Chains A and B, each alone.
Chain A
Amino acid sequence: NAGVMQNPRHLVRRRGQEARLRCSPMKGHSHVYWYRQLPEEGLKFMVYLQKENIIDESGMPKERFSAKFPKEGPSILRIQQVVRGDSAAYFCASSAADTQYFGPGTRLTVL
């Protein structure tokens, strides 16, 4: 089992561009979580998805951010019109039940 995969590992965008972050959960896992880590801080929950459903998006910013987990393919975290404050490490985790397994993260840098 390859574990949770995230790509790209590093992403550079200019202000106003779009960022798409991908997460492939572990085989057999149907729950996906996205977290954001700002410098010098812990991970902050953003959204929890199951296949084709958003279960809890209480941690998502109200604008520019969206997430999906389609029936086929990876989960996508989409950030439109990025700003410098979006620069962070974005982690995805997946679970079959309770324990969450984390991916290596995507480090987004907004110039």
Chain B
Amino acid sequence: AQRVTQPEKLLSVFKGAPVELKCNYSYSGSPELFWYVQYSRQRLQLLLRHISRESIKGFTADLNKGETSFHLKKPFAQEEDSAMYYCALSPISSGSARQLTFGSGTQLTVLP
């Protein structure tokens, strides 16, 4: 069975400071990792996925298989980054089942 852990429920940083949201996972097979974000009064939306290896809104995340981590980072936080962030895992398989396993989320607040 797979599990995703986000150890910080709440995280506050000042505008312009670096931010790192932690995510650790456990899964015996090959996982695909995602970060989803939910801004206030908006629906959950995909921020980035490790397979794409892209930077979205200045955020990056590197899959570290040795440490089974997928931390989300941004060098300079902005107030508009304040939101709930969820890390999620999906098994990589050729089958059709692609259920996501979510962490419990981290509420990021960027202070002015």
Contacts and interface: CB of A to CB of B under 8 A. Distances in A.
A91 B44 contact: yes
Interface residues of A, number: 28
Given A42-B102, A42-B103, A48-B97, 15 more contacts: A31-B98, A33-B100, A35-B102, A42-B4, A42-B86, A43-B44, A43-B86, A50-B96, A56-B97, A56-B99, A93-B100, A98-B32, A102-B43, A102-B44, A104-B43
Nearest to A95: B98
Measured as residues with beta carbon below 8 angstroms from the partner, the interface class of chain B is 20 to 34
B43 A43 contact: no
Contact of B99 (A40, A45, A105): A45
A46 B109 CA distance: 30
A48 B91 CA distance: 14
A59 interface: yes
Nearest to A50: B96
Contacts of B69: none
A86 B34 CA distance: 27
B102 A48 contact: no
A105 B105 CA distance: 17
Interface in B37-54: 43-46, 49
A42 B104 contact: yes
7 contacts: A33-B98, A42-B102, A48-B98, A50-B96, A55-B97, A100-B98, A102-B45
A72 interface: no
A71 interface: no
Contacts of A93: 100
Contacts of B26: none
Interface string B53-97: 000000000000000000000000000000000100010000011
Nearest to A47: B99
B99 A48 contact: yes
A61 B105 CA distance: 23
Nearest to B49: A99
Nearest to B90: A98
B99 A41 contact: no
